[in-house]
Chain A
């Protein structure tokens, strides 16, 4: 273990298809056990930032063109995804993307396939996930495509947790879900960070809820880090409040 942050993105730049610049200077630090919110408007680069960290950009023909991504102090910018997952860095993608024809429990098991776990370990992991999201116990034998949106989000998170991560990257968990369900999920995530020391980097359109539960927050604007700091302090700032929790001109124009 190094004393620096567990996951660190340093001035990362990304372009798609060698032409479309998506990120032009994103810096994010995620210390062990921290709950970090990544907020910003549509198209600010939240998803791209998470995909860059998980090295999933090549799927969309994107690439990191400058900057550095390090995990435990080591440069992992080009490390294969399965190795990152094994080391403890995993993404629960936007839109949940459960394996629809597999049952809920099979979905959870797929998260553990990358690691050569014993059946007992697998059972233990499943029990932990069911304890975190008790609703999943009732639907464990149903195809994941047929459970509710909230349950699918829990499956997606649980599936990522089954790989025993140390940093969970979570993309837009609130998407299309009822506020109560979102609240339930964020509470569960918060509990994970305080009880098991898991670090979470969550990208959220819904800045209010993200800032309420997170310790730290990073605000992205037009593909770069615009603000960074304590979540409560950011939430209290007039410009953040106005722009992300209400309506107002952008931070860049205000700050500059």
Chain B
């Protein structure tokens, strides 16, 4: 391979990995809720849209960045509390499919509410990040992608630290491991759920801003969840590490596939190759690469 080819390969790979970090970010929102309540929260995409739309509308009303961020986060916290009270609590001990249907309904309610409050037009979101590519040893990398990946990585790291080193984090892991035993030792499930939904809301907010800045804030934004699904299948629905690695793999596969297989197969690969990879893995390893580490004696 000639140097120029190799540089091009690296450029594609890095671009893929950087967008993969953003997939990871969306996927982690799912993992948090799945781990603690066994529910695939379909409303994660609607939360993301709601967050981005609320933020951009507040900014357009003249609020400074951090005020808009804080207000949006407050709104998401209220949604988290509301969901726990109105949906999770009454449906406790119901089968997972019931809860899944509830989150499906919830996602339309949240989207509808967002539409009702902020209207339906497309908003441009400018986070003030310069998007000129920078040159690293002949490889061009988008500044925006780099910053977005950095923010996403910082977000993931702080979430991991929160769940690793705080009391509520310990309670979170206990609930994820064994809900019944967690209740039996006196942990308050409802409190853990509120915290988890709030954390998922924060993830949705950050992901919503990054994706919104890239794609524009519009209703199709809630469809980025469809990008998260293959990541979850690949990494395992209950593994944060899996969501990170899965996101990176999917990101890289999409870009490499588009560039190197696209000409052979006629393009448009980026939209389905992630699912093909996820399906192939499902056949070999149904619980995903990192699904439920069986911490059990053989």
The distance in angstroms between the C-alpha atoms of A114 and B170, with both chains bound, is: 12
> Counting CB contacts under 8 A, is A109 at the interface?
yes
Q: Which single member of A58, A99, A145, A146 contacts B181 (CB below 8 Å)?
A: A99
Interface contact B295-A93, CB-CB below 8 Å:
no
Interface contact A113-B186, CB-CB below 8 Å:
yes
Interface stretch of the complex, out of B72-80, B136-144, B171-179, B220-228: B171-179
Interface contact B297-A145, CB-CB below 8 Å:
yes
Query: Chain A, interface size: which category?
Result: 35 or more
The distance in angstroms between the C-alpha atoms of A38 and B293, with both chains bound, is: 36
The distance in angstroms between the C-alpha atoms of A93 and B183, with both chains bound, is: 11
Given known A143-B295, A146-B295, contact A110–B184 (CB-CB < 8 A): no
Given known A58-B93, A113-B170, contact A82–B293 (CB-CB < 8 A): no
Closest chain B CB from A181 CB (angstroms): 15
Binary contact readout A93-106 vs B (1 if CB under 8 angstroms, 0 otherwise)? 10001111110001
The distance in angstroms between the C-alpha atoms of A84 and B187, with both chains bound, is: 11
Closest chain A CB from B256 CB (angstroms): 34
Interface contact A145-B167, CB-CB below 8 Å:
no
Interface contact B184-A102, CB-CB below 8 Å:
no
> Counting CB contacts under 8 A, is A159 at the interface?
yes
Interface contact A56-B177, CB-CB below 8 Å:
no
Q: Which residues of B contact A113 (CB under 8 A)?
A: 167, 170-171, 174, 185-187
Q: Which single member of B173, B186, B295 contacts A145 (CB below 8 Å)?
A: B295
In the complex, number of A-B residue pairs with CB atoms less than 8 Å apart: 92
Binary contact readout B178-201 vs A (1 if CB under 8 angstroms, 0 otherwise)? 101111111110000000000000
CB nearest to A143 among chain B residues: B295
> Counting CB contacts under 8 A, is B2 at the interface?
no
Q: Which residues of B contact A144 (CB under 8 A)?
A: 295
Interface contact A61-B184, CB-CB below 8 Å:
no
Interface residue count on the B side (C-beta < 8 Å):
24
> Counting CB contacts under 8 A, is B135 at the interface?
no
> Counting CB contacts under 8 A, is B296 at the interface?
yes
Q: Which single member of B184, B185, B187, B296 contacts A100 (CB below 8 Å)?
A: B296
Interface contact B185-A145, CB-CB below 8 Å:
no
Interface contact B177-A99, CB-CB below 8 Å:
yes
Q: Which residues of B contact A100 (CB under 8 A)?
A: 177-178, 295-296
Binary contact readout B158-170 vs A (1 if CB under 8 angstroms, 0 otherwise)? 0000000001001
Closest chain B CB from A80 CB (angstroms): 8
Interface contact A59-B93, CB-CB below 8 Å:
yes
> Counting CB contacts under 8 A, is A81 at the interface?
yes
Closest chain A CB from B250 CB (angstroms): 25
> Counting CB contacts under 8 A, is A85 at the interface?
yes
Interface contact A163-B186, CB-CB below 8 Å:
yes
> Counting CB contacts under 8 A, is A90 at the interface?
yes
> Counting CB contacts under 8 A, is A54 at the interface?
yes
Binary contact readout B268-298 vs A (1 if CB under 8 angstroms, 0 otherwise)? 0000000000000000000000000111110
The distance in angstroms between the C-alpha atoms of A90 and B187, with both chains bound, is: 12
Which 4 pairs between the two chains have the least Cβ-Cβ distance? Answer: A85-B186, A145-B295, A114-B186, A97-B181
In addition to A110-B171, A144-B295, 13 A-B residue pairs with Cβ atoms within 8 Å of each other are A59-B93, A82-B186, A82-B187, A84-B186, A90-B184, A92-B184, A100-B178, A102-B173, A110-B170, A110-B187, A145-B295, A146-B295, A160-B185
